[in-house]
Amino acid sequence: MRLVVFTDLDGTLLDHASYSHAAAAPALAALARLGVPLVLASSKTAAEIAPLQAELNLRGTPVIAENGAARCPPGETGGSTATYGRLRAALAALPQPLRAPFTGFGDMSDREVAEATGLPPAGAALARQRQFTEPGLWGGTAAGEAAFVAALASQGIAARRGGRFLTLSFGGTKAGQMAGIARDLGAEVTLALGDAPNDREMIEAADHGVVIRNDHGTGLPPLPGEATGRIRRTTAPGPEGWNRAVLDILDELGFMTGAE
Ligand SMILES: [Mg+2]
């Protein structure tokens, strides 16, 4: 049986506070031993995901970057920025009163992005290496924001609010990218893990979904799949919960027979 695993990073495979995946080591080792592809799916840029992908020896697997706006082929670093360029051009073409209150990552320095996100300066530089989406801060009125969003929508640009940032994109979700990758990798069974609303579609679209406990975020409301057992919740947060859930599901699917 060909299994493919899709996982969110922050608060899911990575600890909310320390960004460590150490507690998931046994399950990561089991996936590697079984040759089960592990696809990293994050709101981060490909440049931000690349060091983790290398550390986990996952360079042969595609990555879902920038919240599903894009799928990056295995091992790709420094891919095309043409889509991001189109977003920035659309912003520049807006009437100044509409455009002015929006401060995108492309309008900020590395230091300003570090301040806005809480990332260290080196991390902020990687977060600014955008290919597909533009997060930014809105400094105007609610009515102004509605007009700004409507003007962009007429050009096929979606604006999604998540926490502090208003993120602009030409669409695409983690679940949409998951479907394409699962097909290309010949998946017969999919498993998706996540902790936040932007993971919901992915968790619901997979054959097996896992909601990772996160006491620091918005969390996910009870999902219909939980009643049937197709979706489960972890009692432990982050990588500890991730580890338990992946090992349990591998066992239930019959992968662990004969494992020591
Ligand atoms: Mg998360």
In order of their start, the domains of the chain are 3-69+173-252 (3.40.50.1000), 82-169 (3.30.980.20)
- pLDDT of 41 reads 95
- pLDDT of 260 reads 47
- Residue 217 C-alpha to ligand 1 middle, in angstroms? 8
- Residue 119 C-alpha to ligand 1 middle, in angstroms? 15
Interacting residues of 260 by C-beta distance below 8 A, sequence separation 6+: none
Whether 240 contacts 21, CB under 8 Å? no
**Phi first, then psi: what are they for 202, rounded to 5°?**
-65, -45
From first CA to last CA, the distance across the chain in angstroms is: 20
- pLDDT of 218 reads 78
- Residue 197 C-alpha to ligand 1 middle, in angstroms? 9
What's at 86, amino acid-wise? R
Strand pairing report for 208-213 and 189-194:
parallel
- pLDDT of 258 reads 62
- pLDDT of 259 reads 54
Q: pLDDT 10s per residue in the chain (260 long)?
A: 999 999 999 999 999 888 899 999 999 999 999 999 999 999 899 999 999 999 999 989 999 999 898 888 887 766 789 999 999 999 999 999 999 999 999 999 999 999 998 888 999 999 999 999 999 999 999 999 999 999 999 999 999 877 678 999 998 889 999 999 999 999 999 999 999 888 999 999 999 999 999 988 778 999 999 999 999 999 999 999 999 999 999 999 999 886 54
- Residue 67 C-alpha to ligand 1 middle, in angstroms? 10
Interacting residues of 21 by C-beta distance below 8 A, sequence separation 6+: 13, 14, 15, 28, 52, 56, 239
- Residue 194 C-alpha to ligand 1 middle, in angstroms? 6
Question: What positions carry a catalytic annotation?
Answer: 8
